[in-house]
Amino acid sequence: MNKNIAIVGATGAVGTLVRELLVERNFPYGEIRFLASEKSAGKELEFDGRMVTVELLCPTAFDGIDIAIGSTPDDVAREFTPWAVQAGAVVVDESAAHRMLPEVPLVVPEVNPGAIAEHQGIIASPNCSTTQMVLAMKPIHDVSPIRRVVVTTYQATSGAGVQGSADLENGTRAALEEAEWEGGVFQHPIAFNVIPQIGSVQENGYTSEEMKMVLETRKIFADDAIEVCPTCVRVPVRNCHSESILLETDHPITPQQAREVFAAAPGIQVMDDPGDGIYPMPLNCDDLDDVFVGRIRRDLSCKNSLAFWCVSDNLRKGAATNAVQIAELLASSEFSKCRSSN
- From residue 246, how far is each of 28, 147, 164 by CA, in Å? 39, 11, 28
Known catalytic residue at 188:
no
Burial of 86 per CB tally in 10 Å (0-12, 13-18, 19+): exposed
Written in H, E and C, the secondary structure of 290-329 is CEEEEEEEECCCCCCEEEEEEEECCCHHHHHHHHHHHHHH
Q: From the candidates 241, 285, 310, 338, which is the catalytic residue?
A: 241
Which residue type, as a one-letter code, is found at position 107?
Answer: V
Q: From the candidates 128, 240, 310, 338, which is the catalytic residue?
A: 128
Q: Residue 2: name the closest of 37, 22, 27 by CA.
A: 27
Known catalytic residue at 241:
yes
Answer whether 225's CB lies under 8 Å from 149's CB: no
Answer whether 87's CB lies under 8 Å from 62's CB: yes
Helix (H) or strand (E) holding 76: helix 74-86
Which residue type, as a one-letter code, is found at position 106?
Answer: L
Q: Residue 247: name the closest of 307, 311, 312 by CA.
A: 307
Instruction: Quote the radius of gyration of the chain (alpha carbons, Å).
Output: 20
Positions marked catalytic: 128, 241
